[in-house]
Amino acid sequence: MEVGKYISLGNGIQVRKAKNDTYTYYHSYRDKTDNKVKRKKLFTTDKADAKGLKKAILMVDNLIETEQEAKDKITLNDLSKRYFESRRKKMIGELRRKYNNMDEETFLSLKNVKNKLTGLQSEVNRYNKNIAKSEIAEQDIETLKRQDFKAFLDNDLNLKGLSAKTVYNMVSLCKTIINYGIRNEIIEIQNPLTNFSVKNPKRKRLRYLNIEELEQLLKECQKHENPNVYMSVYLGVLTGARARSVLNIKKKDIDFKNNHIKLDNFKSNKIYTVAITKKASKWLEKQTKELKPDDYIIYNRKKPSNQPFTYIPKGVYQIMDELFNQNIDKKNNEERDNVVNFHTIRRSIATNMALEGVDIFKIMTFLNHGSTKQTHDYLNLSGINLNQDIEALHGKIFANF
C-alpha cells in the first residue's frame, strides 16, 4: 500500500498508510448540513486486514446510533424554544384579528403590539437567566426525575438569592413548558413536576380606601393639570374596573340613554356592562362631546392616536404616594401589601359595597368575577362588625328557646 494514499475498503471505510508503517482507519460520509464529504478518524493500528475493517464498521455503526440518539433527545431548552415560539405565533394571530386592516409594518409599530411582544421577550429573558444554563435544561427531558428539579430548586434557584415569587414563577414555567410538550405530543412522559409543591407567595393586598379616602383621592386628582389623571380615577371608582379595562373605554361603549358602560375584561376575554348613575352619565356625555364614537375616553391631547394608553398616567400614582404611601417601603414584601395603587380602587369599591350590605352575588357581577369564592377572597372584610347581624340571626333562631 502506497504511503499517504487513502484506500477505500467499502461501507464508507478508508485506510491510509503512514511513514512509520502504521495504518489509520477513517470513516467518510456526506454531511447533510452543508452537503460536503467529510472524513472522521477512527483508530490507528499496525495492520490493515479484515479484522481492522470489521472493527471500523462496528465503530461507525456505534457512531451512527449515538448521533441518532442525540438527534432524538429533546431537552428543556429545545422545548422552551418551541413553547415561546408557539406563544408568539398565537399572540400575533390574536392581535392580527383585532387589527386586521393594517399592513405588516404598521401592525408591528402599534404600541399595544410592541408591549405584548416585549412582555413575552421579558419572559424568555427570565428563562434564559434562571433556567437555560442549569443541568436540567440540557438533560434529555425524558430522563428528568422529580429529584432533578428538587436539586435545581435547592442548588440553583434558592442559592441565587431570588425572591420567593420568582422561584415559584420559574418552577411553574418549567411545569408549563413540559405540559406544552406533552399536550402537543412532542414528548411522551408523565410530567415530573405534577404535584411538585413550591409555595406561591401571593400578595395579600391588605389595604383598601374607605369612602372618605376615595373622595380625597378624587378631589386631589381633579386639581391635576392633566385631565387624564382625574378621568382615569373617576372611571376606576365609577366602574370598579381594572386599569386596562378603564384605558380601553371608548365613547361608543357608554350608553348615555340607559346609563351603563360596556367594559372589556381582558383577564377572562369577556365583555360585560356596569350600571352608572344618571349624574355620571350626563357628566361623561358633556366631557366627551367633541369625541367620535371610536375615540378613547382617556387619550393623548397633544398627539391624537387611535391606540389606547397602556399605562395609567403617572400623576395618579404620584398623588396616591403623597396621600397614602408616605411611610411604606415598596421594596419590602410585607409592607408592599399595604401600598395603594390603581388596583386598590377596584378592591376598595367592592369592599365598601360589602360594608354597605350589598349582596355578594351583586358584587361578583359588578366585578365580573367567575365565582363568589373569588369575590370573597378579593374583599377586605376585616372591618365589618358582625355582632349586630349575628345577634339578629340568633334572635330568630332561638326565639322559642
Number of H helices, E strands in the chain: 17, 7
pLDDT band for 333, please (50, 70, 90 cuts).
low
Q: Tell me the per-residue pLDDT of 278-330, one tens digit each, with 9 for 90 and over.
A: 999 999 999 999 999 999 999 988 876 778 888 999 999 999 999 999 988 77
Q: Tell me the per-residue pLDDT of 234-262, one tens digit each, with 9 for 90 and over.
A: 999 999 999 999 999 999 999 999 999 99
Mean pLDDT of the chain: 86
pLDDT band for 389, please (50, 70, 90 cuts).
low
Q: Tell me the per-residue pLDDT of 26-76, one tens digit each, with 9 for 90 and over.
A: 988 877 667 788 888 899 998 888 888 888 888 888 877 666 555 567 899
Percent helix, strand, coil in the chain (nearest 5)?
A: 55, 10, 35
pLDDT band for 342, please (50, 70, 90 cuts).
very high
Give the H or E element holding residue 331. none
User: What integer pLDDT is reported at residue 67 of this predicted model?
Assistant: 60
User: What integer pLDDT is reported at residue 385 of this predicted model?
Assistant: 52
May I ask the CATH architecture of the domain 211-378? Orthogonal Bundle (1.10)
Residue 38, SS3 per DSSP: strand
Cross-strand bridge partners of residue 37: 30
Residue with more model confidence, 202 or 352: 352
User: What integer pLDDT is reported at residue 130 of this predicted model?
Assistant: 94
Give the H or E element holding residue 23. strand 23-30
Residue 330, all three cell numbers: 415598596
Q: What's the CATH fold of domain 76-183?
A: DNA polymerase; domain 1 (1.10.150)
Cross-strand bridge partners of residue 265: 270
Please count the other Cβ atoms lying within 10 Å of the Cβ belonging to residue 302: 5
Residue 217, all three cell numbers: 383621592
Domain boundaries, the chain: 6-72, 76-183, 211-378
